[in-house]
Structure 1
Amino acid sequence: MTDVPHAWLLRLLKVPPAPRLPSGHEGRVFRSAPAFRRYQLLRWGVQQLGVAAGLVAGALFLREFIFHVDYPLSHAIAWVLEGLALLGFLVQLPVGFLVTRLDYAFRWYILSDRSLRVREGLVSLQEKTMTFANIQQVSIQQNPIQRLFGIADVKVETAGGGGSGGSKGGEAHREHLHEAYFRGVDNAAEIRDVILARVRLHRDTGLGEHAPEEPVEPAGTSTAALEAATELLTEMRALRGAMPPRQPR
């Protein structure tokens, strides 16, 4: 396991253990697809190339302009600036690589029969829980690089998620407090369908909001609820079959 050689880093960052399903709940605890780790490392590598290019450009600037300034300490200051920038870059390289590599192993997604939960991040841990009764929209997002890796993101939005306030920085997006992402999954369509089925089930059984044109029937006599439950069971079985097996700690 990747967490054994780096236990010191996990203790330093106080990373919590793997989450479990709440008592009495049914569902699944899973991670992103293995290809998501390669995708993250590729992004990290491109970012480091950009930083290295910036350092080279800065060094050329110093040599071209500051070295020609008629000031006794100009050369010393230029060399100190170059040295500090290079040192900072070299120090952050192994730490950034390690955090990026471990991000996959400690990114968890939970789909239970009542809610979903997303836990992500090592340095800055974020955890979001959403009940199916409050979910308004589920969509799939996939950029060209993700398409090459065969992965996608499932975006879940709850009521009140249309504004721009209250957002905080994510990995590649500025996430709103009313948004959650199942990032880097290779069965995005199945996850979306299961979430939508559970949303319909909660609404049909009177656990969530109903559209005005859809009258609420008693839960015990609602044929729509029975049909939704049957559809949910079928989709959950398909999702479990498509997901990778849970890895032991």
Structure 2
Amino acid sequence: MKGGDMKCIALRLITLFLAGSIFLNGSSAAMALSSADGHSSHPQGEPSSTFDKAEFLYWFKQCEHLQGQEALAACEQALKINPHVAAAWINHGQKLFNFRQYTKALISFENALLLKPDYSLGLANRCGILTVLGRYPEALDSCDMALIGDQQWGFSGQVLAWNNRGDTLIKLERYEEALASFQKSLAIDPNDVAAQQYRHVVLKKLNRRDHSQPQAPGFIPSQQESQIALVPY
């Protein structure tokens, strides 16, 4: 991205925040502890000391490690104890994504962004959900903002934003730009299977030969390959 593009993206992020179109809250216990200790902003100045931090962290970790309905219930319990931690909203949204409750997941990611408007992981997750919902221009903005955000990625990394960005560009049939995004992913992590698969798909759409060998030998491109979606972590 050029300097002028990055400035425009940054200005759009500020505009979204001031307009209130980004709602509230990271993905690691360390980030949760930081927020719980009062390093995160709280609506109406509500103090972080009014909740049981040990109980919150217990449910936060349960949310992080459990699967299925138990995980979702644990996330919701953590949010009942303290709804002002970005990481808790991110994990809640990820569990909702697993249940294909995409609109609710989007709300959770936007809640994370109300607490941390430049939160890279939240913006990349929002990009992934908006792509699933067919809101491609907004998704692309969100991924671009993630790449110039605070670089807090939880268990993920910048690869997540580049892959989600490329997926959005596939939906927009902007295949050369999509290919460039997946090349960025592979420059960061040459072994990222999702980026390899996406790259294979885009090269086929561009009628180019893929000389590399994706690490997932069972991957077979089909008419539905553009539906590949990354689970946002």
Question: TM class by shorter-chain length?
Answer: under 0.3
Question: For the pair shown, which has the larger CA radius of gyration, 1 or 2?
Answer: 1
* TM-score when normalising by structure 2: 0.26
Question: Which structure features the higher share of strand residues?
Answer: 1
